[in-house]
């Protein structure tokens, strides 16, 4: 067996199940699982008719890169949402089977397995980041999200010795679990650090559409890059999902977007990895990324 598997921590939900094993929940109400972050709102109305109309798609093998129509829909959404002049649907978009698997896979694709390799991630953190680093042959390193700093990262506090081996930096924006949002200027500072220290930024932006209806939408890494002149998104890759945005966690649908060269290598990795979206899933995804009314309703409910 791969000896790196022995370094993985028990997954939190397994530990939680063990803690709950001897507990008897009350029977006078339906529990809400605060542990897993599962949406409780209804599916968008368009899901069932779109799914029914696309069932014949199960007769076909999906491609790694997904259907052009889905990539074009995602590119148009990114341009609208983050005020981007141009996103190349052919070379800068890759649909994925939920961002959890993609956040793990990116480390396997980009980390060079060599002495001193590090992957930097937030603390507290999504455990996938740590497992991805360990199984890629890198050491996890952490930056604290402290209350005295508004639960925002302070990359200036990281010493030169730590930066030396960093190949990949995970950020989560808005942050999970505290919900703090990095500014566009802060992300631009991180991009400058990436240029200086030669690492890739993986921005987990899965919660980007859950914000107060009266607030400004959270900034995104691609918008930050473009507005500092990095229009090819060098060293930048973002991850988005329909799970929270559209109440569709069971659909297992999201996308990664960013630098074309980076996405090309990631697509090669994923061709062998074998994770693709079934055509009916792509049809529902296309409808979801095309519609903002259900997203606004979802925000209001939250």
50 touches 44 (CB < 8 A): no
Q: What is the dihedral of CA 239, 243, 244, 246, to 10 degrees?
A: 110
Does residue 35 lie in a domain region? no
Is the confidence at residue 5, as pLDDT, over 90?
no
- What's residue 275's pLDDT? 86
Average pLDDT over residues 157-174: 94
Does residue 13 lie in a domain region? no
- What's residue 31's pLDDT? 75
d(CA 128, CA 119): 12
Q: For the segment 40-81, what is each residue's pLDDT rounded down to a tens digit?
A: 899 999 999 999 999 999 999 999 999 999 999 999 999 999
Lowest mean pLDDT among 18-27, 70-79, 157-166, 190-199: 18-27
Spatial CB neighbours of 210, under 8 Å, sequence gap ≥ 6: 174, 244, 245, 298, 299, 302
Is the confidence at residue 277, as pLDDT, over 90?
yes
Is the confidence at residue 231, as pLDDT, over 80?
yes
- What's residue 283's pLDDT? 97
CATH of the domain at 63: 3.40.640.10
- What's residue 2's pLDDT? 87
Q: For the segment 106-152, what is each residue's pLDDT rounded down to a tens digit?
A: 999 999 988 999 999 999 988 899 999 999 999 999 999 999 999 99
- When divided into structural domains, the chain yields a total of 1
d(CA 13, CA 38): 13
- What's residue 254's pLDDT? 97
Does residue 232 lie in a domain region? yes
By three-state DSSP, how is residue 204 classified? strand
- What's residue 13's pLDDT? 76
Q: For the segment 20-33, what is each residue's pLDDT rounded down to a tens digit?
A: 888 888 889 887 77
How many CA atoms within 13 Å lie on the side-chain side of 147?
0
Does residue 39 lie in a domain region? no
**Where is pLDDT greater, at 36 or 127?**
127
Lowest mean pLDDT among 11-15, 205-209, 237-241: 11-15
Does residue 64 lie in a domain region? yes
Mean pLDDT of the chain, nearest integer = 94
pLDDT above 90 as % of the chain: 81
Q: What b/e sequence results for 100-114 when a residue is b if at least 16 CB atoms lie within 10 Å of its CB, and e otherwise? A: bbbbbbbbbbbbeee
> Residue 236 — pLDDT band, cuts 50, 70, 90?
very high
d(CA 135, CA 146): 27
Q: What is the dihedral of CA 75, 81, 83, 84, to 10 degrees?
A: -20
Does residue 211 lie in a domain region? yes
Does residue 11 lie in a domain region? no
Helix (H) or strand (E) holding 243: none
- What's residue 147's pLDDT? 95
Does residue 7 lie in a domain region? no
- What's residue 34's pLDDT? 73
- What's residue 6's pLDDT? 86
Average pLDDT over residues 236-254: 96
Residue 115, domain extent: 47-301
By three-state DSSP, how is residue 118 classified? strand
The whole-model pTM stands at: 0.94
């Amino acid at each position: 067996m791969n000896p790196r598997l022995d370094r993985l921590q028990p997954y939190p939900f397994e530990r939680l199940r063990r803690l709950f094993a001897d507990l008897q929940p009350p029977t006078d109400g339906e529990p809400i699982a605060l542990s897993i972050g599962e949406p409780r709102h209804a599916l968008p109305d368009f899901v069932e008719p779109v799914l029914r109309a696309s069932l014949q798609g199960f007769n076909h093998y999906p491609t790694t890169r997904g259907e052009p129509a889905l990539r074009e829909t995602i590119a148009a959404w990114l341009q609208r949402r983050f005020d981007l002049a141009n996103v190349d649907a052919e070379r800068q978009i890759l649909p994925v089977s939920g961002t959890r698997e993609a956040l793990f896979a990116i480390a396997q694709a980009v980390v060079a397995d060599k002495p001193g390799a590090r992957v930097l991630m937030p603390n507290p953190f999504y455990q996938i980041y740590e497992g991805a680093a360990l199984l890629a042959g890198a050491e996890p390193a952490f930056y604290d999200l402290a209350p005295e700093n508004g639960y925002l990262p302070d990359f200036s506090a990281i010493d030169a010795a730590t930066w030396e081996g960093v190949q990949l930096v995970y950020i989560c924006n808005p942050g999970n679990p505290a919900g703090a949002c990095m500014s566009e200027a802060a992300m631009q500072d991180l991009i400058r650090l990436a240029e200086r220290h030669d690492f890739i930024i993986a921005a987990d932006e899965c919660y980007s559409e859950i914000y107060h209806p009266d607030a400004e939408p959270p900034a995104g890494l691609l918008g930050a890059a473009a507005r500092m002149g990095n229009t090819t998104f060098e060293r930048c890759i973002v991850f988005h999902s329909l799970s929270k945005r559209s109440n569709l966690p069971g659909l297992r649908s999201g996308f990664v977007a960013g630098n074309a060269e980076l996405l090309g290598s990631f697509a090669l990795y994923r061709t062998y990895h074998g994770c693709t979206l079934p055509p009916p899933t792509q049809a529902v995804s296309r409808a979801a990324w095309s519609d903002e009314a259900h997203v606004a309703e979802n925000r209001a409910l939250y």
